[in-house]
């Protein structure tokens, strides 16, 4: 099972997907954990997720960890499949809970009540590709994979 988890190849496309998905989500995770980039920090995020959104504390914590520690692991290509799964699940929950009601499109013109789910769909697709193929080139998974062969 462990071998399947870290199995990958030197695919440059997976490197590109892994790095850019990580770079997009890194600021979001840091907003939630440290309050960087205009965020509210860990305690306030936990409060919003549990009190206002109604998520159990354990799931709220996992969501925050997926967007913070999971993103750092994703960028490094360390347990890429698990990290991508966490981001993918986060995006599915976020889209279904908050954005599907606003339609497909982002609110580019400011004419909708909120943002649509197109961004979330792209993040889920990238996550799925990483779950299927692994971290690709320059990933710690690839290094581990080569060591255990």
Residue 45's domain comprises: 8-148
Domain count, the chain: 1
In this model, does residue 149 exceed pLDDT 80? no
31 lies in a domain?
A: yes
pLDDT digits (tens, 9 = 90+) for 136-146: 999 999 999 99
3 lies in a domain?
A: no
Q: What HEC string does 60-104 produce?
A: HHHHHHHHCHHHHHHHHCCCHHHHHHHHHHHHHHHHHHHHHHHCC
143 lies in a domain?
A: yes
pTM score = 0.93
pLDDT digits (tens, 9 = 90+) for 104-119: 999 988 898 899 999 9
CA distances from 25 to 35, 107, 142, 144 (A): 14, 20, 22, 25
Looking at residue 1, what is its pLDDT? 86
């Amino acid at each position: 099972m462990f071998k399947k988890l870290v199995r990958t190849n030197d695919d440059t496309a997976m490197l590109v997907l892994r790095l850019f998905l990580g770079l997009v989500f890194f600021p979001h995770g840091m907003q939630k954990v440290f309050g960087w980039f205009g965020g509210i920090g860990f305690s306030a995020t936990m409060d919003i997720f549990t009190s206002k959104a109604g998520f159990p504390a354990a799931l709220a914590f996992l969501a925050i960890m997926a967007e913070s520690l999971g993103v750092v692991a994703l960028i490094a290509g360390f347990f890429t499949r698990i990290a991508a799964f966490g981001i993918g699940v986060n995006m599915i929950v976020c889209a279904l809970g908050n954005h599907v009601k606003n339609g497909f499109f982002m609110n580019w013109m400011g004419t909708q009540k909120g943002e649509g789910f197109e961004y979330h769909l792209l993040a889920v697709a990238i996550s799925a590709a990483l779950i299927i193929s692994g971290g690709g080139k320059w990933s710690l998974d690839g290094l581990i994979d080569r060591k255990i062969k």
